[in-house]
Amino acid sequence: MRAGNLADLLKKGDWVAVSNIAGREASHVSAVSQKYCGNISGGWALGKGGQKIETPKGEISVFATFEELLRLTPAEKLPNKILVYSPPEAVYGEVKEIVKYGEKIVETIFIVTEHVSVEVTAKIYQICRQANIDVIGCNTLGIINSHDQVRIGAVGGETPEESFKPGSVTVISNSGNMVNTISSYLLSAGMGTSFGLPTGKDKLILSPLKELLVLAEKDEKTKLIVLYVEPGGTYEHEALGIIREKNFSKPLVVYVAGEIAEKHNISLGHAGAVVEGSKSSAAAKKQAFDSYFGIEPFRVEKKYHRSPELTASLARGIRVQALHHITKAVTLIVSVLGMKKDFSSSKPLGLNPWFVNLGELGKHLPAELSPAPGIVPEPYSDQVKQQSKHLLTGMIRQSMRNASHASSNDGVTPRIYGYSLLEVMKEKSLAAALILYWTGELPRDSFEERLAEMTLIAALTNGPGTISAQGAKLSASAGNNPNTAMIATLATIGLTHGGNGAKAVKFLLESFADLDIKDPYQEYGELQKLAVKTADDFKKRKRAAKEAGIEYEHIPCLGHPVFRHEAVNYDPRERIIYSYIKESGRENIFLEFYHHLVLALKENGSTALVLAVNVDAVIASVWLGICWRQIMEKQMTMTRAVDIPFIAFALGRVAGGAAEFLDHQDFGTEMDMRIPVKECRTLTRPSKL
């Protein structure tokens, strides 16, 4: 490398230029960095020349090209450090321009961009080595020099001065965010940082660990090094070979992440965190470090007694098995080796969990393993309050091409969420199997099982005149096969016909969002009050919409085109399920809320009659009750909770559509669903070409 020590990568007096600086992330990070250390002389972005980036320390000029930036920047502020924020496909062109025009000026390039191809990364390495320019990345977060209080990139986040106090530890990490986290942890041990350096974790790292450790060895202010290592690549093995050869003098504290993720074939998220060959696995890296240290991994419960053997091992370092043990391991090394702390320890490192959701497990854990929720600091507290109004909407994403949580088959036994399909066939009903397949859990009792079954039966039919039944009959009339008729049935189900159940779940989730409902099958005394408030809010919206002459949003699942002529209307299918709930001595608070709501709407004049709570409402209420515990424990997405009632209706109705097909096929005539020409009405006048 061109650099002789870590300070050569970044120090006070260096000037920085930023590519693609007008981009959202680049402009924001640049503004924060300028406030912190004021070391950005300018940036460039195609088509953005002449613009300015506003910062608390003045404007940053944006040029059209890097060449223009060099030509128009005063000599005393010419950038010797470059931060590349360009998209992957543009990175090579940017680096070529930097090398072409800045070969005699630029010393180091930091490439933030991730997912740069291996081929392009190799080309970048080649042209930069020829120009004697060091490259950090790709996929780095930048670097911070705590003693000089300067940074490049986003290391330290919005407030780098809080996490990076000048000290004697250098943190080198495959993960950018972990540099920030570890540096914050170290403060509790009375240790500050000399440098924080994320290497990035693309498949090809342009400044590998072995080179960075050599620079850290030469940094007088660095007394100890903390490494955060991910699976993938053999850079750590190469580094261990170098430090053995050179008799490395500074102790390492190492955390190797990802062994559990490897066992379950889950990626840590970085392109290079992919195991290829035995040496690149987390387990292999752990073994290699332990072999170098000559001591077993740090154990927080062990009492370490100073001895020549312990001193010799800790002079090389130690591996920790949990991220939060880093501070204790650092403290041990500092004590045994007689090093001085950088300052008095700050408050002890302790858990301040913003969210605690152990579910049923929490009831069986000892108190020390089941912490209470901590205090969410500002400005996050207000943000959390806003976000908490919405339930979980997503899960961790991964490729699902050949994977499934819902099913499996080892060649012997097909399974549903781990349960043997064969055992389910022997012991459970179709309704119980569907609850398992759709929610991942078996029904809690026969009550839920029976309710689910009743919703499927209720969805079978509402007569041959329904749109979905007509779809099946049309298909039979056209001479199609059963599967085509079933598809036709499904094709006629939409947001208006059948989809109201999904709307109902959204409506109920919003209505109950601020209530602490643990069990949806127990009475809740505030339902009438909630219904009156909901009815009054609806009346106001309806009045305002009418005054404005616009459509208003109806409350889903109220009323029915058939059951609508009485003073008090009921959907007979809903009545059967409602009666079963009452006869069981239970309650479904969502369905009960609907009944309070139709009365409140009549009482406040929003409706002339008491509308029927229709079958879509009862299907939505039943399945929301079944899903409720998982929703509250954040084990089910809102999307799934919304979709399940729609799926339940569709499954019942497609079975009913199959029956209509069979009936029509047996007794109907070909093309009998065709409407005669004389019955068709023309709504346009004939026209001549």
- 176-187 and 326-336 helices, crossing angle to 10°: 50
Percent of the chain with pLDDT over 70: 92
383 has pLDDT over 70: no
Nearest to 666 by CA among 492, 466, 482: 482
| Confidence class for position 279, pLDDT limits 50, 70, 90 | confident
The pLDDT confidence band at residue 200, using thresholds 50, 70 and 90, is confident
Let me know if domain 165-350 sits in CATH 3.40.50.261: yes
- At residue 392, does pLDDT exceed 50? no
Domain ranges within the chain, ordered by starting residue: 1-144, 165-350, 467-667
Same fold, 1-144 and 165-350: yes
* Banded pLDDT at 280 (limits 50, 70, 90): confident
Stronger pLDDT, 352 or 581, i.e. the higher one = 581
pTM exceeds 0.85 for this model: no
Q: How confident is the model at residue 396 (pLDDT cuts 50, 70, 90)?
A: low
Alpha carbon distance 498, 490 (integer Å): 10
Which of the listed CATH numbers 3.40.50.720, 3.40.640.10, 3.30.70.520, 3.40.50.1220 matches domain 1-144? 3.40.50.720
Give the dihedral sign, CA 105/110/115/120: positive
Q: How far apart are CA 270 and CA 251, in angstroms?
A: 27
Q: Which residues of 222-257 are buried (b: 16+ CB within 10 A; e: fewer)?
A: bbbbbbbbbbbbbbbbebbebbeeeebebbbbbbbb
The Cβ of residue 513 has, within 10 Å, a number of other Cβ atoms equal to 12
Buried b / exposed e along 640-673 (16+ C-beta atoms within 10 A): bbbbbbbbbbbbbbbbbbbebbeebbeeeeeeee
pLDDT at 272 (0 to 100): 46
Q: Which residue has the higher pLDDT, 18 or 387?
A: 18
Residue 414 has pLDDT above 80, yes or no: yes
- The predicted pLDDT at position 501 comes to 87
The mean predicted confidence, pLDDT, of the chain is 90
Predicted confidence at residue 386, as pLDDT, reads: 60
Angle between helices 482-491 and 467-477 (to 10 degrees): 150
> Residue 572: pLDDT above 60?
yes
Residue pair 346/188 in contact by the 8 Å Cβ criterion: yes
pLDDT in tens, 14-60: 999 999 999 999 999 999 999 999 999 999 999 999 999 999 999 99
For 122-169, write each residue's pLDDT tens digit.
999 999 999 999 999 999 999 999 999 999 999 999 999 999 999 999
Burial letters 478-512, b for 16+ CB under 10 A, else e: eebeeeebbbbbbebbeeeebbbbbbbbebbbebb
